[in-house]
Amino acid sequence: METINIKAETRTETGKKANKALRKTGRIPAVLYGGKDTHTFSTTIREVKHLIYTPNFKLAELDIDGAKHKAIVKEIQFHPVTDAIEHIDFIKLQEGVPVKVQVPVRFKGTSPGVREGGKLIQSIRNIGIKTTPENLVDELVADISHVTLGMAVRVKDLEVSDDIEVMSPGNIPVASVNVPRALKSVEEEAAEVAEAAEVAAAADGDAAADGDAEAPKE
């Protein structure tokens, strides 16, 4: 699992006024929770950009005035207009203490439905898990090598170890292979033909029954 090293400086002044003044210098106020102490510090966008602006799940190693702490991002506050990062909350990783994180969903294998012309539509890109730091993973994987046209792969189909608790219900679809319009039309026509044949067969059966009923007795 990739870890991003982040250099930081302790800040002694807190509150809205102090944070605003800090941002004007180009630094980002942040807090590290967990453990015996809460650390208030600041860092820069250059230090955190590879941790924040990525679809991947990564750990942070905070170097706060020389003291190092393994952590994960808990919450990020963005400016409502500029989208600039205004504040970051981190959670310190402690051995044996469970944490909740969001990790991306990846796929392996080739779907037969995709080979037949279908398109894999992903409905969930990240999923919540709960586990201890020593069992953290940076992704959950689903095997789609059995997914045919019209089928879905669900949360319960993800490859998850016994040490990890998935926070979403098992029946929620993660991705599905849609049926292309051209193939769908063929299938619908075939279904209509089959239905018409069944109706015709039933009508023939009813007519034969009626003919038997109306036959004169000898």
Q: What is the pLDDT of residues 115-161, one digit of tens each?
A: 999 999 999 999 999 999 999 999 999 999 999 999 999 999 999 99
Percent of the chain with pLDDT over 90: 75
Superfamily of 100-178 according to CATH: Ribosomal protein L25, C-terminal domain (2.170.120.20)
Q: What is the pLDDT of residues 5-63, one digit of tens each?
A: 999 999 988 889 999 999 999 999 999 999 788 999 999 999 999 999 999 999 999 99
State the pLDDT at residue 193: 60
Location of structure tokens 């890109």: 125
Nearest of 20, 21, 29, 67 to residue 48 by alpha carbon: 29
State the pLDDT at residue 198: 67
Residue 186 has pLDDT above 60, yes or no: no
Contact (CB, 8 A) for 110 and 143: no
Q: Where are the alpha helices (DSSP H) in the chain?
A: 16-24, 45-52, 112-115, 181-214
State the pLDDT at residue 217: 41
- Using CA atoms of 188, 190, 191, 197 in order, give the dihedral in degrees to the nearest 10: 150
DSSP annotation of 216 reads P
Nearest of 122, 120, 99, 137 to residue 172 by alpha carbon: 122
How far is it, in rounded angstroms, from Cα 33 to Cα 45? Answer: 20
How far is it, in rounded angstroms, from Cα 71 to Cα 55? Answer: 18
Q: In the chain, what are the domain boundaries?
A: 3-93, 100-178, 181-218
State the pLDDT at residue 189: 56
**According to CATH, what is the number of the domain 3-93?**
2.40.240.10
Percent of the chain with pLDDT over 70: 83
